[in-house]
Amino acid sequence: MSENVNPTPSRDLTAAGDGTHGAVAQSDRFSDPGVPHHQPRLTDRDPKAAKRAERTVTLLFGLSILGTIGTLVAYFLVRPDGTTEGVRLSTVLLGTAMAVSLLGIGIAAVHWAKTLMSDRDYIEERHESRSSDEVRAVAAAGFKDGYEDSGLARRGVLKGAVFSALGLVALPIAVPLVSSVGGDWNVGKFRHTMWKPGMRLAYDPTGRPIKAADLTVGSVAHVIPDVPAEERETHEWITEKAKAVVLLVRLNPEDLRADQSPEGETWSYDGIVAYSKICTHVGCPVALYEQQTHHLLCPCHQSTFDMADGAKVVFGPANRPLPQLPITVDDEGYLVAQSDFLEPVGPSYWERLK
């Protein structure tokens, strides 16, 4: 490295763009004027300016110390009382004071480097990234000698055994790992939900069963299967709920153009239709119902389903209608499921129709 104290415009420096490609001769090019002369800064020329800069830097370091003290003060004196205001005050004070203590050092260091440290350019030679041919030859010879010394070249069976053993040795870890993390691997569970014939529909999250008579035309209900309250406090419940949630809408029977009932069956009851709440796109709960248009919108990716027309997709990335839950009423007037869904709910997957 040489200090470029007095750079002279050098003519023999190769131009940056010179090369084999492009076939532009060197004489066709301007020559590199060399590193520009060092321009002294204000702090280089004026001792007063340098003194000022030094004071600023000192002040900034001092500010940082104050910030650090401030952080500790905020930590010990401002104890949040648990209210929103308390937590906010503590967080703002801690964060701001900490920022002062950090920014003080940061800005001081940069200002110091920019005003008081030398800003002369230095030049260092680069070397080609590749190693020289001699070095390569020695390295290659080393490998070759090592390979010969190992005797692998002569002992073919040994070679095969070594590589087979090394290739297989990952299996004792990989197989149990991969095989265990998938639980029981029974992907057939995607096909079923916990709905059973005669199971009552209940409000989410209270769990109160729904009477058909309670629903006015135009109303919408978020529905879960009617199960005992203690059952609803388990993991199994959350996983079952993730498939079983239903959105129920009561339409004016004249508005109900179609549902998914096959010939000879009635899956809706007096204008009440129940569809899976799990989007057939990628599985978000479809939750935004627009009463005027009977459209149901998924807030995640805006797939839109027409509840008056068999939950057909009218817009967005979903492809299939939401599966319908066949419902009817029991003797006491409560809505009940006629059966489970007749197709898998939620997003499509490879074996969905198998």
Partner 1 sequence: MSAAINSPVEPTTPVGKAADYLDQRTKIGVLTKQLVRKVFPDHWSFMLGEIALFSFVVLIFSGFFLTMFFEPSMELTEYHGEHPAQLHGQLMSVAFASTVEMSWDVRGGLLMRQMHHWSALVFVASMVVHMMRVFFTGAFRKPRELNWLVGTALLILGLAAGFTGYSLPDDVLSGNGLRITDGVVKSIPVVGSYMSYFIFGGEFPGEHIIPRLFTLHILVVPALILALIGVHLFLMVLNKHTQYPGGGRTDKNVVGVPAVPVFATKMVGNFFIVFGVLALMGGTMAINNVWNYGPYDPSLVSAGAQPDWYMLFLEGSLRLMPGQGTEWVIFGYTLSLNVLIPAVVIPGLLFTFLFVYPFLEAKVTGDHREHHVLDRPRNRPVRTGLGVAFLTAFIILAVAGSNDLIATHFVMSLNLITWVLRVLFFVGPVFAFWVTKRICLGLQRKDRELVLHGHETGRIVRFANGEYIEVHRPVDEQERWIRVSYDAHRPLEIAPATDARGVRRKGYRSDRRWQRISRFFYEDRVEPVTPAELAAAHAHGEHDEIEAQRGTPELVSGSASGEREH
| Residues of this chain, 216-245, that bind partner 1 according to CB under 8 A | 222, 224, 233-235, 238-239, 241-243, 245
Contact 60, 108 (CB under 8 A): yes
Q: How far is the CB of 256 from partner 1 (least distance, A)?
A: 23
* 207 part of the interface to partner 1, by CB under 8 A: no
Residue numbers 324-353 binding partner 1 by CB under 8 A: 346-353
Dist CA 92 CA 101 (whole Å)? 14
Question: Which tokens in the block code for residue 211?
Answer: 């009477």
* 105 part of the interface to partner 1, by CB under 8 A: yes
Number of residues that bind partner 1 (CB under 8 A): 118
Q: How far is the CB of 245 from partner 1 (least distance, A)?
A: 4
Judged by beta carbon, residue 20 or residue 265, the one nearer partner 1 is 20
Token pair 């008579």 in the structure block, residue: 213
Judged by beta carbon, residue 217 or residue 287, the one nearer partner 1 is 287
Which residue of 5, 11, 39, 125 would you call a contact of partner 1, by CB under 8 A?
125
Task: Supply the DSSP symbol for 262.
Answer: P
Judged by beta carbon, residue 172 or residue 183, the one nearer partner 1 is 183
Contact 341, 243 (CB under 8 A): no
Q: First and final CA of the chain: distance in angstroms?
A: 72
Task: Supply the DSSP symbol for 49.
Answer: H
Which residue of 167, 172, 182, 228 would you call a contact of partner 1, by CB under 8 A?
182
Contact 336, 198 (CB under 8 A): yes
Q: How far is the CB of 211 from partner 1 (least distance, A)?
A: 21
* 65 part of the interface to partner 1, by CB under 8 A: no
Q: How far is the CB of 302 from partner 1 (least distance, A)?
A: 6
Q: How far is the CB of 203 from partner 1 (least distance, A)?
A: 11
* 89 part of the interface to partner 1, by CB under 8 A: no
* 75 part of the interface to partner 1, by CB under 8 A: yes
147, burial (CB in 10 Å: exposed 0-12, middle 13-18, buried 19+): exposed
Dist CA 305 CA 292 (whole Å)? 13
Contact 218, 290 (CB under 8 A): no
Q: At what angle do helices 84-115 and 47-77 cross, to 10 degrees?
A: 160
Which residue of 49, 102, 217, 227 would you call a contact of partner 1, by CB under 8 A?
102
Which residue of 59, 72, 73, 95 would you call a contact of partner 1, by CB under 8 A?
95
Which residue of 5, 16, 166, 170 would you call a contact of partner 1, by CB under 8 A?
16
Which residue of 43, 53, 100, 215 would you call a contact of partner 1, by CB under 8 A?
100
* 28 part of the interface to partner 1, by CB under 8 A: yes
Rg (CA), the chain: 38
151 phi, psi to nearest 5 deg: 80, 5
Residue numbers 126-145 binding partner 1 by CB under 8 A: 126, 128-129
Sign, CA dihedral 98-104-109-114, equals: positive
Dist CA 249 CA 325 (whole Å)? 12
Q: How far is the CB of 205 from partner 1 (least distance, A)?
A: 7
Contact 33, 11 (CB under 8 A): no
* 205 part of the interface to partner 1, by CB under 8 A: yes
* 152 part of the interface to partner 1, by CB under 8 A: no
Judged by beta carbon, residue 189 or residue 208, the one nearer partner 1 is 189
Candidates 146-154, 186-194, 249-257, 267-275: pick the segment binding partner 1 (CB under 8 A).
186-194
Dist CA 240 CA 231 (whole Å)? 11
